[in-house]
Chains A and B, each alone.
Chain A
Amino acid sequence: MERILHLVIIAFLLVGCRKEELKKIDGPLLSDLNGKFSVITNLKASRDSIDFVTNESIFFTAEFSKVSSWKLEIIGQKSGAIKEINGVGNKLTNSETTWDGSTTLFPIFQTEVCSARLTFTGEKDTLLTTINVNQPKINKGFVVADFESALNSGWSSFVQSGANMDFQVKSNNTAPQGGGYLNMAGTVDWDWLIGLINFKATAYGAKTFPLSSNPSNLYFNVLVWGEPSLNNSLVLFQFQEDENGDGNFSSNSEDMYSHQITINWVGWKLISIRYNELVALVNGTPAAASGNGVFEPNKLMQINMLHLANPKSGFAKAKLDYLIFTENKPLQP
């Protein structure tokens, strides 16, 4: 009997020894999820002005009474560029809202005053503040073309003599980067080709483009415009490698890789592709490369850009801007 009593006492002591768990809670707080929404601290930027060229950074803070789905938009007042950051929580912190000057919706930010706007799903409240961008972000990489001036005389081009042809650099505030872009439009009812530009390495003062030899961390990027109500444009990029270094490209014995873009969206869109994901095409179908079959971006001597459309499809229109090679990651404008 005594033994039983001892066991009971030990067992009670064991139960009594359990750690206190009142400070631990499973799941998000109900008061955060379902309580009444109110702003505790207003939206504030960590600095009034920012120079992205000198690697300055900026972040935003705010606190509110419950866990909410929030959206922070930074809008360039001159360019109309938009950076969008989304999150869920009851406050904005450094780690979530740090802005490196990049863009979500084109155009790219310029030197300008920007509005920051914080909104919440299901709530009427909108919080605002402003910041000055003294110098916008500069993207590292080799710029093939940004169309800030007329076509480079070192490039060659061909434009069909169709109807309503327009194949030239334009300057206006709709450019996604800087002030200019390449406009490509026209009706060619006898051929797929509307126009082309050959970007030759010699136009930049060398036999080949100054690119890394590693194709797995090199990205080709381009901003492409899709015209509303038109989805018949194709843009084909061809990358010709001078494998034997003779300054000429031989289609029978040297590699040419391609990337074809079907433009089926509206507005500006960033297209990025890793160099070793390019394919060799014969009549639009993947095929074995004609040369050594090795991706050698350091031997790239010419990039051909062809604007194509089905001749039966009528008028085609597209725009291009900011052809740039970046290393290690795709362009983050």
Chain B
Amino acid sequence: MKIHILILFTLFTCLVLAQEGKKVQFVGGARSILTASDFSSNEKDTITVGKTTGGYALIDLGIKINPNSRTEILGMFRINNAFGGFWGSDVTFGVRQLHVKGIAGKGIRYQLGNIDYKLSPYTCYNSNPDLILPSFGTTSIKEQIINYESFYKSNTWRQQGAAVDFVLDFSKSKDELKFKGFLFRLNPSNQGTLFERLYGGGSVVFNQHKNFQIGVNYANVFDVKETAQNNDVYRNQVTTLIYQYTYEFEKLKMELSGESGFSNTFSAEQKNAQLNDYFIHFKGNTMFKKTGVSLEAGCMDNGADFRSAGAQSKRIDFNQQNSSYQRFTNSQIVRPISYYDLYNDPTLYSMQFSTKLMDYNPAINNVLPYGIATFNRRGAYFSVNYSDKKERISTQLKYYRLGEIRGQGTPSLRKFDYFIGSVNFNPSAVFHWKKSHTIFLAMGYQYTNRMSKLALESIGLESYTLNFGVSFEMLDKLYFIGNTFWFKSNGNEILPIRDAKGTIINFQSTKIAGSENCLSGGLKFEFSKDVYLSVFYEHNTNSFMALNPYQFNQFQVVYFMKF
């Protein structure tokens, strides 16, 4: 009842403001999903209910008010109605986001409330190390939902707090100095053992003539003293230097850029366990303007004790359970998180970053499980990108050759090979067809190897990921979409087991052998760029649990709208 009154009051306020000449806009989105799932395994299972249906309709209604030309206030409510509820049952109301932003004085931009923020890849950066391939077709629809639900936009983290930035212009030289500052609250104190934890920092970046940039970033996760009943406050301080130099010839554009810095991580009462380390990352990029080819080569050296909570947090902690078909078989064994779940289950994703190292799945990404800022990695990478000016074909290929700097449980070091590539082919542009047709192929390959005289220390793990998709426009704005997503991994890994402070205390030897295949196909009707209706069917098989392979088929109707 309270929420109804709140919404009515807000709408009334908007009407009043609108009549007073204030600018009021409605923004938001709507989504409806209907699913019919069919789960089965080879083993006798009289407990798990295999066939389920479900769905919901939700609307995110945001009211953006500009009381003046320099201020914006946004409040967004969510109304979610699970299918099956009637006359208000199974209806939930919530506040999805609130912020105030504007410009103070001559150009100090500020924002308070919910803020989507990033700083640099080694300080505050929301990398996506588990969905390693670009998505297409049905996987694209699902990833779009996940990104929308968790506020993942261009590698930003959704935080709550305040941010400010401003620029000092040197009008004679066209140089400029950019300042950024932020302070976010990561968690409140529980007045007992848990401290008030904040995340603050900023950057100062000097831009010279638009072709040279150098700056300093600082990010600090810190507990506020005396907000808990002990003195063991935590700190994770990261300071980095960023630089970029661009030089443009007639036919060539070259760029040298990088980020280097150090971190200091400790808790006040355990300074013996303090972690200090540094990293160096630089890359050179050359773009041949005429051909559309660009080459990139980079080197990285991320120290074994380099820690950056804002950059090394994962979107998914693999130490959690699925929300659908958590257990199966008559023994009710736990169903581990699969690749299919990564696309299918938005509730697995976290919006907050973590100061502890999150669990990862070595089969999915063992090379850079914590993104480009993954600690204990040294090596080089090379990439080739090509984009046809007539948009007939575009391709991205990247290869990493990395290794560990410090051994885990042995002086022997892991070596990593990581290849990732995608090709987007547009036959409509080649054959001058009016309708839009696209063929897409992306694949990833990872190989981890540790050679040792002792067999118990040896590691060999291979993973292949492939996403092949087509999108054919059959009628005006009506597309046939189809995907094959295939994932296979085979080998062994010895994963570290860490205590609460992140220190390795033991190892878990893991044998991995299995594959996962998802075939999907359906139709998609695009009303406009941000509004579509799609109907598709997926057939997913998973054999990573050798004794309990299973099938998870699903029929989905998805309506998606952003306004």
Contacts and interface: CB of A to CB of B under 8 A. Distances in A.
Interface of A: 1, 3-4, 7-8, 11-12, 14-15, 18, 21-31, 33-35
Nearest to B411: A22
Given A8-B284, A15-B280, A30-B507, A25 B457 contact: no
Given A25-B408, A27-B496, A34 B456 contact: yes
B507 A27 contact: yes
B254 interface: yes
Contacts of A7: 245, 256, 282
A35 B409 contact: no
Majority-rule SS of B interface residues: strand
Interface string B287-313: 000000000000101011000000000
Contacts, number: 84
B494 A26 contact: no
Interface string B234-249: 0000000000010100
A67 to B, nearest CB: 10
B197 interface: no
Contacts of B247: 1, 4
A26 B408 CA distance: 5
B260 A30 contact: no
B378 A18 contact: yes
B411 A25 contact: yes
Interface string B401-419: 0000111111101000000
Given A18-B378, A30-B410, A4 B299 contact: no
B546 to A, nearest CB: 22
Given A15-B280, A26-B407, A35-B456, A3 B245 contact: yes
A160 B372 CA distance: 82
Contacts of A14: 260, 280
Contact of A26 (B260, B304, B456): B304
A25 B409 contact: yes
Contacts of B280: 11, 14-15
Interface residues of B, number: 34
A122 B456 CA distance: 18
Nearest to A10: B282
A21 B407 CA distance: 8
B245 A35 contact: no
Contacts of B494: 30
B382 to A, nearest CB: 15
Given A21-B405, A30-B494, A11 B299 contact: yes
A31 B410 contact: yes
B258 interface: yes
B274 to A, nearest CB: 15
Contact of A21 (B304, B456, B496): B304
A28 B282 CA distance: 33
A27 B408 contact: yes
Given A21-B304, A26-B496, A27-B496, A33 B299 contact: no
Contact of B409 (A3, A21, A23, A28): A28
Contacts of B506: 27-28, 33
Contacts of A35: 454, 456
A12 B300 CA distance: 10
A181 B494 CA distance: 57
B95 interface: no
Interface string B436-460: 0000000000000000001011000
Nearest to A29: B409
B354 to A, nearest CB: 20
A16 to B, nearest CB: 9
A15 B254 contact: no
Interface in B467-501: 494, 496
B503 to A, nearest CB: 8
